[in-house]
């Protein structure tokens, strides 16, 4: 996916301003930020759970090899 530069961001903001108007734009930005924050936290929790599971399996495997 190509990077979006400053001119691309300006065009996107102008289109959003035309479509939603200046009164709704802060609400949309806030909602988008909250959604991204929740998604980031959820993915972090999933990664942490998977990492813990692999560590637990490694410990079980190590104890079985030693026995």
pLDDT (tens digit per residue) in 29-54: 899 999 999 999 999 999 999 999 88
Rounded Cα–Cα distance for residues 53 and 47 (Å): 10
- Is 0.75 topped by the overall pTM? no
Q: Is the pLDDT reported for residue 14 higher than 80?
A: yes
Rounded Cα–Cα distance for residues 53 and 60 (Å): 11
Do 20 and 28 contact (CB within 8 A), yes or no? yes
């Amino acid at each position: 996916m190509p990077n979006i530069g400053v001119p691309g961001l300006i065009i996107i903001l102008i289109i959003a301003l035309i479509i939603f108007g200046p009164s709704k734009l802060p609400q949309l930005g806030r909602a988008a930020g909250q959604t991204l924050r929740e998604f980031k936290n959820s993915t972090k929790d999933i990664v942490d759970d998977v990492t813990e599971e692999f560590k637990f399996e490694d410990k079980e495997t190590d104890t079985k090899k030693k026995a």
